[in-house]
Amino acid sequence: MQLRSQLIELTAAAAVGSQPRSSHVASLDPSQKLQLIERECRQQELEVKLLRTREARLQEKLTLLEKVTAEQALQLEEHREELFELRQLRRKVESEEYQIEKSKPSDDEWRRLREGQLKFEEERARHEAELRARRAQVDEEQEAVRAVVSEIDDRTQQSHALLGAAREEMARAEQAAAAFALQTMELESRRVRELHLTELRAPQPASKVATRLEHPMAGALLATLRHSLVLERDVHAAVAQARADGLAAADEDEHA
């Protein structure tokens, strides 16, 4: 129950954070974006833990069913012993009938004996059919849980891979931004020196001397930042899809 409540809280937080994502995510710095991605990854891990908990419960149910099966098998063995005793009794009766021809059992007694034997055979067949049905059901449930857990693990690995790529992109963007800032400072210092020399040689109004500063790294930095935003959007989409599929599969298992 505690794991389920944590999962519900993280789902609600993710739902709140996903509303107007285009403007909200653009205003976040890289560390806040990384925290958002890590929070969604933790939510995926909680979903995997929830499914594994359900798998453990199904395993306990299987153990209980196996115990019941063993008890039924023991009862079946006892019934077989009773049947063997009944057959011995029948042979004994036949022997006595042969020896004492005048004291034959009545038709009613024979009918009751045969009805009891048929009833026992029907009960044994019914118990065996129920046992086979229960075993098949448990096998199907275990296979379904294994498939869901495997799918969630695969999607979690994909989300981690996308998260790593996003971190690398953000690191490269930060390095490019630092390099751009350093080169901008150098160009600004050089421009100030040139402006000072120009003013010394031929004084002009400041409005004519000022020039627009453009750096060749600006376009590359902008493209890198845009690629990081696209990659982060893909990570969010993959995490949301994996969470939705995992919850849908868990709901289907519970209904089943």
Site of tokens 């009766």: 93
Q: Where along the chain do its domains lie?
A: 2-10+34-255
CA distance 141 to 136: 9
CB atoms within 10 A of CB 50: 18
pLDDT tens-digit series, residues 142-179: 888 888 888 888 888 887 888 788 788 878 877 887 78
Answer yes or no: are the C-beta atoms of 166 and 231 closer than 8 Å: yes
Q: What's the confidence (pLDDT) of residue 66? A: 92
Residue 48 has pLDDT above 90, yes or no: yes
pTM value is: 0.30
CA distance 207 to 161: 52
- pLDDT level of residue 16 (50, 70, 90 thresholds): very low
Inter-helix orientation angle 217-255/2-18, to 10°: 140
Higher pLDDT, 220 or 43: 43
Q: What's the confidence (pLDDT) of residue 17? A: 46
**What's the token pair of residue 143?**
């296979």
